[in-house]
């Protein structure tokens, strides 16, 4: 739960505190280079999700895109987080990219059955489509969507420029999403591509991340923003300044925005998330001391 701060720019008279929900997180929870910086110094891999969930209330689950976890692992994830924490997970790339959403009913059912123990703590099933899936495949997309659980929140990320052309194709796509309360996932990679490819991490990120227009629209109840920041934290402010206004507007409308923060190597992603919330002007547990900041400092030896 996210509550309005005493200096929030949201209108307290129009928006009930208990109705405000902002899901916030990063694209991973297990990161060795967060130990001692955000996680406690001696945090074990088995406890990283628990410590992550003390900082954030959601995570962008990308691991499921590449491989299916074991059923026991699913249960461990479920039990490691509090009841108000919400996962998102991507449908397997075998379904979206290799099978191209065709003749995949059995695989989709198996994926949903595998993740079903997490459904109670899942905010969204994410469908990331490859760049070669364009408006001409809209019928295929619609057909695939009918194979997903009807009671689950669904988000779809498209990377084909035909969905960003602001023409009849994009209009039909957005109208379909609105009619079925499917969230169009927005990826803002402008900060990443604003800096020179001066490190291996930036080179790799610029090679992998899509450079697509930022078409801002909420087609469902949980609009999602994937923000890929640049290396200098302060330089991100000019890029996310319009998002502060948009997130506030969505919250006032009773929507439940989801915002996930990336950097090229995700080294400073939690700091970027904290900076964003500070500028947004609402209370969130990311503003509390990180587990590493809660550890007592070792006294100097005299």
Domains identified in the chain and CATH numbers: 17-291 (3.20.20.410)
Q: pLDDT tens across 56-87, in order? A: 999 999 999 999 999 999 999 999 999 999 99
pLDDT at 14 over 70: no
CB 12 within 8 Å of CB 265:
no
**Average pLDDT value for residue range 216-231:** 97
What local confidence, expressed as pLDDT, does residue 32 receive? 87
Residues 6 or more apart whose CB falls under 8 angstroms from that of 17 comprise: 3, 4
SS3 53: coil
More confident residue, 294 or 208: 208
Residue 108 sits at the vertex; the CA angle it makes with 48 and 49, to the nearest 5 degrees, is 5
More confident residue, 168 or 302: 168
What local confidence, expressed as pLDDT, does residue 118 receive? 96
SS3 183: strand
Pairing of strands 258-262, 224-228: parallel
Residue 35 pairs in a beta bridge with 39
CB 239 within 8 Å of CB 194:
yes
More confident residue, 9 or 192: 192
| C-alpha–C-alpha distance, residues 285 and 288, integer Å | 5
Share of the chain above pLDDT 90, in %: 88
**Average pLDDT value for residue range 197-210:** 94
Give the residue from 268, 286, 280, 269 showing the smallest Cα distance to 54. 286
Give the residue from 85, 73, 249, 86 showing the smallest Cα distance to 155. 86
Q: Does residue 102 come out as left (phi exceeding 0), alpha (psi in the -120 to 50 range) or beta? A: beta
**Average pLDDT value for residue range 94-112:** 97
More confident residue, 248 or 297: 248
What local confidence, expressed as pLDDT, does residue 295 receive? 66
Quickly tell me which residue has 């991973």 as its tokens. 28
CB 10 within 8 Å of CB 251:
yes
What local confidence, expressed as pLDDT, does residue 81 receive? 97
| C-alpha–C-alpha distance, residues 166 and 27, integer Å | 29
Q: Distance between alpha carbon 218 and the CA centroid of its chain, in Å? A: 15
Q: pLDDT tens across 132-183, in order? A: 999 999 999 999 999 999 999 999 999 999 999 999 999 999 999 999 999 9
Question: Average per-residue pLDDT in the chain?
Answer: 91
């Amino acid at each position: 739960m996210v509550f309005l701060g005493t200096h929030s720019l949201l209108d307290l008279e129009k928006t009930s505190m208990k109705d405000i929900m902002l899901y916030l997180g990063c694209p991973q929870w297990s990161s060795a280079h967060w130990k001692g910086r955000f996680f406690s110094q001696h945090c074990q891999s088995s406890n990283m999700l628990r410590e992550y969930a003390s900082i954030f209330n959601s995570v962008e689950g990308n691991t499921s895109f590449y491989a299916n976890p074991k059923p026991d692992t699913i249960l461990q994830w479920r039990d490691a987080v509090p009841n108000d924490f919400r996962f998102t997970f991507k449908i397997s790339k075998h379904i979206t990219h290799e099978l191209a959403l065709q003749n995949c009913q059995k695989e989709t059912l198996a994926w949903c059955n595998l993740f079903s123990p997490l459904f109670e703590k899942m905010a969204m099933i994410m469908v990331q489509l490859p760049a070669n899936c364009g408006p001409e495949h809209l019928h295929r997309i619609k057909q695939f969507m009918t194979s997903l659980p009807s009671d689950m929140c669904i988000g779809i990320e498209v990377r084909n420029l035909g969905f960003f052309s602001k023409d009849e194709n994009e209009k039909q796509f957005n109208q379909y999403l609105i009619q079925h309360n499917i969230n169009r996932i927005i990826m803002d990679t402008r900060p990443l591509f604003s800096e020179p490819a001066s490190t291996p991490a930036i080179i790799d990120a610029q090679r992998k991340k899509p450079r697509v227009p930022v078409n801002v629209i909420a087609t469902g109840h949980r609009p999602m923003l994937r923000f890929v920041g640049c290396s200098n934290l302060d330089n991100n402010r000019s890029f996310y300044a319009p998002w502060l206004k948009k997130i506030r507007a969505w919250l006032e409308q009773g929507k439940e925005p989801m915002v996930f923060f990336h950097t090229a190597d995700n080294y400073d992603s939690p700091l970027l998330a904290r900076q964003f919330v500070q500028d947004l002007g609402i209370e969130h547990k990311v503003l509390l001391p990180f587990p590493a900041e809660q550890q007592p400092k070792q006294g100097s030896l005299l």
